[in-house]
Structure 1
Amino acid sequence: MPSNKFYSSLNEQLAGLLSGERDWLANTANASALLFMELADINWAGFYFLYGDELRLGPFQGKPACTRIPVGAGVCGTAVATGESQLVEDVHQFPGHIACDAVSASEVVIPLFAGGRCLGVLDVDSPSVARFGVEDLTGLQEFARILLNCSEIPPVIPHSR
């Protein structure tokens, strides 16, 4: 499991990478690449953005993923519906889990809030059961906070299909 020192270094890398760039799309793309490059034993790292009552796939690294996830469905949709981060040791035991990649076994999802509204989620998956712990959750919450602070938050996205 990564240590606090690991996440301190990772989050410093993110702040440096985003320094001088405020574009939301560019920053989420680079953030997902950084996570995929630096985190061991993961098979997916990326973002879903909230459009009305569903999450839509954003920048990511890994295998092709589900394009749309209803709010309240799966781990990502649950994070949005509850407004709380989700740390799931075994996704196959999570009620309503959506298997975008059957190889994924554990997951951590951080909802992204700015200006009193949810923008979407940061999602990281692993093929190993119980890959993520509290240090990962805390480190990735800080990662998301840095991303939000370094980015120009997009306008409200209208519900469209």
Structure 2
Amino acid sequence: MRLVNSLINITSRFNKQNLTGIGLTGLRNFRHFFLVNTHSYSTLTKIDFSKSVPKIKGKMHTKLTTEERGTVLAALLNEGWKVLENRDAIYKEFLFKDFNQAFGFMSRVALLSEKMDHHPEWFNVYNKVQITLSSHDVSGLSGRDVKLANFMEEVVKSIKA
């Protein structure tokens, strides 16, 4: 909760719009709309991420089957994600313009991760963020990993647009 309050304070300090009406209820419902800082701290854009994330019926908390992997991982593999050989996980390294852009990306992902109760393994040095996604509760890839990876791709596109 502290992270959410800190991000609200940072966002509203630099935002020209009035964010008072958003409140925590708005942040809890941000799976449909998520405020994304696109170019600078003074510009916020609404992105509808619910349309860009593929639906996996009933498979959010179960391990993906071989057939499901073929369909839901194809787009991620085209975006540069790799299936790790030594464990049932996917990995990608993101490069940003600078540390602020990398940290902004991580902050946005952290908000959704907290809401999903699904946290990535990640490592950050300056403008580089390395991410490994796997679900410990099912000992492998699940729909939550795919959803989070697709969300990350949308955030990166909004940052670099």
The alignment's TM-score, normalised by the length of structure 2, stands at 0.33
Q: Which has the larger radius of gyration?
A: 2
The alignment's TM-score, normalised by the length of structure 1, stands at 0.33
